[in-house]
Amino acid sequence: MISKIMPNKQFKNFPLIGAVFAQVISLVIIKLFIEGFSLKLTSISYAIIQGFTAALISQGVFKLPKWFLTISLLFPFLFLLAFKFIHFSNSIYGVLFLFFSLTFSHTLKERVPLYLTNQKTYEALKKILAQNNASTFLDLGSGLGGVVRSLSSLKVKSIGVESAPLLWGLSTLLSMITLRGKILRQNIWNTNLGEYDVVYAFLSPAIMTKLYIKVKKEMKKGSLFVSNSFEVDGVTADEIWQLDDKRQTELFIYKV
Ligand SMILES: C[S@@+](CC[C@H](N)C(=O)[O-])C[C@H]1O[C@@H](n2cnc3c(N)ncnc32)[C@H](O)[C@@H]1O
């Protein structure tokens, strides 16, 4: 019944919103029960019931990814703990809200979290660029700009595009201080890929198919698209580099 009224398709694209809805619906159901049966619950038993109901809704009704099960179960406890034991000043809420919205704007919208490329991957990317005589490099969604700065050299013009304001600001500052690379405050989807020899992405499986269509349409012949960790569904990579770092990074290389 709920799944008929609720926009399940939207929750597929924005699972965090689905998780919040699951908590709200669970809250309403439990409140009705408490009032209807005049129940008296301790805050801890309330948190348990709230977590279980929200987890059931998130999986059974909204069909959110499995990891939302844990989040839904734990959220009421963490909420309870935070309010019981930590006394926040009022302004901290505003600061936190601002920080999260300026940093993680894409986590909700495009399911692209912020995780960063490591040193070993920088070195592998440098090799890929050298082997292919590349002189222009683009990092799609450049985060703190580490890849862009690391690959910038006299031979390589290294550019990043980043639209989360705080990340863009910080990485631009770092580029200015180190005189390495350049970060454009730009959305991936409005970026023309045509002028780069190597385009790098460390994004999310959720957008790989859409991104690859853009790559095929815009990138010049002979250039390379390198994806950290996420393959393009149904397309065999021309090369896969398995790195010996802790997370066993795989670089999927597609020749255009
Ligand atoms: C997983 S992080 C990778 C950061 C960096 N490339 C690295 O490897 O260290 C993905 C980044 O892409 C950014 N991003 C996601 N979607 C974007 C979009 N549509 N336009 C611009 N940036 C985007 C996010 O803000 C985040 O900083």
Atom of ligand 1 minimally distant from the CA of 121: 8
- Please, what is the average pLDDT of the chain? 86
Q: What is the pLDDT of residue 235?
A: 96
Q: What is the pLDDT of residue 31?
A: 85
* Cα distance between residue 207 and residue 141, in whole Å: 12
* Cα distance between residue 147 and residue 160, in whole Å: 8
Per-residue pLDDT tens for 132-185? 999 999 999 999 999 999 999 999 999 999 988 888 988 999 999 999 999 999
Which residues are CB-neighbours of 143 under 8 A, at least 6 positions away? 114, 116, 162, 167, 171
Beta strand 136-140 with 157-162: parallel, antiparallel or unpaired? Answer: parallel
Distance 81 CA to ligand 1 centre (A): 32
Distance 207 CA to ligand 1 centre (A): 12
HEC profile of 222-254: CCEEEEECCCCCCCCCCEEEECCCCCCCEEEEE
Q: What is the pLDDT of residue 86?
A: 67
* Cα distance between residue 156 and residue 130, in whole Å: 10
Distance 142 CA to ligand 1 centre (A): 5
Greater pLDDT, 110 or 159? 159
* Alpha-carbon distances of 207 from 13, 189, 198, rounded to whole Å: 10, 11, 19
Ranges in the chain annotated CATH 3.40.50.150: 119-255
111 in Cβ contact with 15 (< 8 Å): yes
Helix (H) or strand (E) holding 29: helix 15-36
Percent of the chain with pLDDT over 70: 83
Which residue's CA is the closest to the ligand 1 atom numbered 4? Answer: 143
Per-residue pLDDT tens for 230-252? 999 999 999 999 999 888 999 99
Atom of ligand 1 minimally distant from the CA of 115: 1
Beta strand 198-201 with 239-242: parallel, antiparallel or unpaired? Answer: unpaired
**Mutation test of ligand 1: which of 117, 118, 172, 188 has the most ligand atoms closer than 8 Å to its C-beta?**
188
Q: What is the pLDDT of residue 89?
A: 64
Q: Is residue 102's pLDDT more than 70? A: no
Q: What is the pLDDT of residue 137?
A: 98
Tokens encoding 170: 């910080």
Atom of ligand 1 minimally distant from the CA of 186: 21
Distance 4 CA to ligand 1 centre (A): 34
Judge residue 124's burial from the number of C-beta atoms within 10 Å of its C-beta, 0-12 exposed, 13-18 middle, 19 or more buried. Answer: buried
3-class SS at 41?
Answer: coil
Confidence of residue 4 (pLDDT cuts 50, 70, 90): very low
* Cα distance between residue 189 and residue 42, in whole Å: 49
Confidence of residue 13 (pLDDT cuts 50, 70, 90): low
Q: What is the pLDDT of residue 41?
A: 81
* Alpha-carbon distances of 25 from 4, 18, 50, 151, 159, rounded to whole Å: 14, 10, 10, 48, 45
Q: What is the pLDDT of residue 1?
A: 45
Look at the block and give the residue holding tokens 């920080």.
99
Distance of CA 249 to the CA centre of its chain: 17
Triad 108, 110, 113: Cα angle to 5°: 70
Per-residue pLDDT tens for 181-214? 999 999 999 999 999 999 999 998 889 999 999 9
Q: What is the pLDDT of residue 100?
A: 67
Q: Is residue 3's pLDDT more than 70? A: no
Q: Specify the CATH class of 119-255 in words.
A: alpha beta
Nearest of 66, 77, 88 to residue 23 by alpha carbon: 77
The set of protein residues with a Cβ atom below 6 angstroms from ligand 1 is 106, 110, 112, 114-117, 139, 141-143, 146-147, 161-164, 167, 187-189, 202-203
Q: What is the pLDDT of residue 44?
A: 85
